[in-house]
Structure 1
Amino acid sequence: MSYQPVPIPSHIPEKLTITLWDFSWYTRTGPGEPFEDLDAAFLQSAERGYNTIRICAMPFLLFGTSHGGESASFGPLGGQYAQNVRWYDVKHRVTMNARDHLISLFEAAKRHGFFVIVSSWEYQQSSAFYGDASWFDELMAVDLSNRPAVLARCIADMVDFLASRDLADRIAFVELHNEVQFGFLANALPDGEVQPGFATGGLSNGMDPVLDLKERLTAGLDLFHDRHPGIAVTVNYAGVPAGVMRGIPENIDVAVFHPYVYGVLDEFTARFKLRDESRFSTAVVRPLLRSGAPDYVDWQPPAEDAWRKRATIVGKPEIYVHDWCDVEAVDRYLYERFQNHHYAMLTKLDLWIDVAADFAASRGIPLVFAEGWVGYTPLHSWYEEGPIGAEFCRIAARKSNEIDAWGYIVCSNAAPHHPMWGEAALQRQCNTIFTQGLEA
C-alpha cells in the first residue's frame, strides 16, 4: 500500500511566509546582535509579513550529546576570520543553557503567533561556532549509515520536550536535516575520512547522494513517524534534484526545495575557483580584493580555532574572498556579466518550480521553497538586494503563488542577521504577492 502523508493540522497557516533564522538565533545573541531580543526579532518579522521561522534547532546538541547543551558556548570562528561572510559574522561569544533558549524561542513564537520549521544544520556547520570541538567530534563519531536515524531520534525527543511545555503546537513541520545531499550527512571517502562536498554533490563511490541517501533517510523518517505520527516530517534538498527525484523518500509529508539559480554567480564562483581549494590562486582573484589583503595561505583562524575550518562545509577560498573582497568590484563583475545569464537563470527558476510543483502533486503533499533565489553572495554585496536580485524575489513570489505552494521565502538574505533586513517594503511586497497574488 502506498504511503499516506501526515495531514497538516488545521491550526497551521494556509500559507507559510518564511524567514530564515537558521542557526543564527543562538549564535547571534550577544550585545547588540540581531537575536539578543527574541521578541523584537519576532515583531520585526511580523511587520515584514512573515508568520514562520525556519531554524536549526540543534537537536543533536540538545538530545544527542552527553551534556545536552547545558552550558553551551557560541561565538566567532576565531579572530577576524569569516567576519565578512554571511551567516558567519558572529560578533560575541555567549554562554547559555541551550534547552532553556529553545524554550524561550518557542514561547516567544507562541506570544507572537508564529510557527517554526524545525530543522538541523549540524552536519554542515552549526558546531563550528561552539566553544570547543566536542559537538563536532560527537557528530562525526556517529556512523555514516546511522546519522539520519540518530537525528530523527533527537528531534523526536525534542518534540516530547516541547510538548511537555505545551509548545509543540508551534511546529509547522520537521526536517531531519538541511540540504541532505550536501554535507557530512551524505559524504565519506572509502577510508572513512569525511568529505563534506558542498559544491561537488557526488560521493566517492560515484553515486549521486540523493540516490545514495534514500534508504537511510527513509529509515529515519519511519523512526520519527513511529514516535510522532501526527507531525509532518520531511527532508529538504539543495536546488531541485531533477533527474534523481526518484531518490526522494516515499514517506515524506512535505516537499521542500532550495532553488538557488546562481547563473552569473556560478560563473563568478567557477572562474575564481571559490569551491576548489586545490586550484585557487590569490593572484587570480587579486583584482577583486581590497588593498592590503593577505595571501590566501596566510588567512587563517588562530591556531586554537583551526578545527573550526573542518566543521564547516563552506569552501575556504570562498571565505577568504568574501572576507577580503571589494564588494563594489564583486557587484560590478556580476552586473557586467548578468546579461549573458539572464535568460538561463529565468528558465532554470521557472523549470525548477514547475518540476517541484509536479513532484509535490504526484505525491499529494504540500510544497515549500525554504531557501533561494540567486545564491551565496559576500556579506555586504548588494546584488541580491538590488534591482536584479529583488526582481528574482518577486518573480519567485508570483510563480509560487501561481502553483499554490504552501511555503515561500522572500530570499535567504531576508532575515534579521543580513543587511537586506532593512529592505522592509520589498519583503512586505513579496509576501503579499505570494499570499494574495497582489503586487501592491
Structure 2
Amino acid sequence: MKKMTKTALATTLGTTLMLTSIMPAVKAQEITPDISNWAIEALNDGEKFGIFPVEWYYEGFRSVISNGRLNSLMDLTEKKIASLDLPKNESFTPAAVRGDNTRGDIINRLYNIVAQYDLNVAEDAVAYMQERKILQGSEKGLMLEKEATTQHAVIFAVRLIQDTFEQANAGAKGVAWVVEDEDTKIYLLGSIHVGTPDLYPMHKKLTKAFNDSEGLFVEANLLDPSGIEYYMEKAMYTDGRTIKDAVSEETYVKLEKVAEKLGLPMEELELQKPWLISNNFTSLTMDDAFGLTAEEMAMHGVDMQFLLSAYLQQKPVYELEGMNAQVDMFEGLSLEAQEESLVAALDGILEPTEQSDEDLQLMADWFTNWINGDVDKFAASLTEMEGDTSEFNQMLFGKRDENMAAKLADVLEEQDGTFFVVVGAGHFLVDKNIRYHLEQKGYEVKPFYQ
C-alpha cells in the first residue's frame, strides 16, 4: 500500500465521485457478462462476498464447472461461513460426497459446510436446502444428477451464505438512522465509498428496509450516462491549455516521474485537469490496501451496491446533488487547492516508504465499526480530520450537508411513502451534519437499530 493522504481518507466518507472515480460505473454499464437473467440479482449481491472472481462471468460461466473452480468456491464459501464464529454442532454427520460435480453432490458439499455449526439444520441435505430455498428446481425438477454449471454452483453458494447470515442474525449493520412524519419514512444510511468483502452480506434488517422502500436517494447517480459525459467533458482541457499551465514546475516534474513509474503516457495526462489527475492518483494509493485493487474497492463501495440493486429491482433513483454538481465542486476549487491535492497524491506514489500503519488501521477500524453498526466508535474516528480547514475539506462538508438536508425535508413534507438514502457517512457525523439540519427543522432523527 502506498502513502495515503488525509484527502483520500476524508473522501471515503465525504463524496461519491473521488475514490469511486468513474471507471467502475462505466464498467457496470458497458460490460455484459454471460449470465442468465434469473441469476443477475443474486450474483450482484454474491460477487461482493469474495467467494468467486467476476472474471468467471466471461469464460464458461454457464458451462460445466471445473474441479479447480469448484474447490476454490467451496473453500472460500467455507471461510465466509466460518467468519461468523458460530458454535459447533458436536453431533454433525457429514453427507456423502462423490466428487462428481453434479448439482446434488455440490448441494451435499455445501450442506457439510453449514451443518457442522449449531444451527437449526435438518439431517437431510436436499430437504434442508429446498426448505431454505437454496436449492430451487424448475419444470425439469431438481436435476440432482446433472453436472452443475459454474453459474449454478455460485448461486447455490451465494444463497447459502445469505441464508446462514440471516439465521445467525449477522451481517454488516452500517451506521443508520430513520426520520419520519405522519405519511413518510426515510431510512438514512451512512456509506463508505470503498469497501471489502467483509461488508457483505449486509444485515437482513437493513436490506429489508431497502427492499421495502419505494425509491433510493444518493449523492450522485454514477450510472447516469449524462453525468459520466459531463464528467469527462469538464475534466479535460479543450482550450489549448495543458496541465503544465496549471501547476508549478516542481509539481509538473513530479507528475512526469509518476507517469514514468506507472508507465502512463504524458501526452494523455497533459490534457487532464489537476483535480482529475488527483482523483485518479489518490485512488491508486488504495491499491493493495486490503488485498484489492482500487477499482475493486470502489466496486465494493456501499453506494455502488445499492445503486446496482435499485436498478435491478427497477427502483427509482433520485439524486441529492448529482454528478454535475459534484464535478462543479471540483471545478470550483482554486488552482492552489487543486495543486495541493495533486501534490499529496503524487507524493503518495513517489514516496511509498513513508506510509505508516495508522492510515490503514483507521480504514480497518472504519470497516469494523461500520459492520458492527457502532455509530459512536465510527464517529470518534472522524477526529482524524478535525481541525482540517483546507479548502478541499470545506468543500466536502458544510453547505453540502445543509442543502441535502433541505431536499430530504422537502421529501418529508411533500411525498408519501418510504425512501432509502445512501450518502457518505461523514455527512451524518461531522459538525452541523444532515441530521443536525433535519433536527433544526423539527424532525426527530432516530437510530435505525434500537
Q: Same fold (TM over 0.5)?
A: no
Choose 1 or 2 for highest CA Rg: 2
Using the size of structure 2 for normalisation, the TM-score is 0.28
Q: Which has the higher contact order (CA 8 A, sep 6+)?
A: 2
- The structure carrying a bigger helix percent of its residues is 2
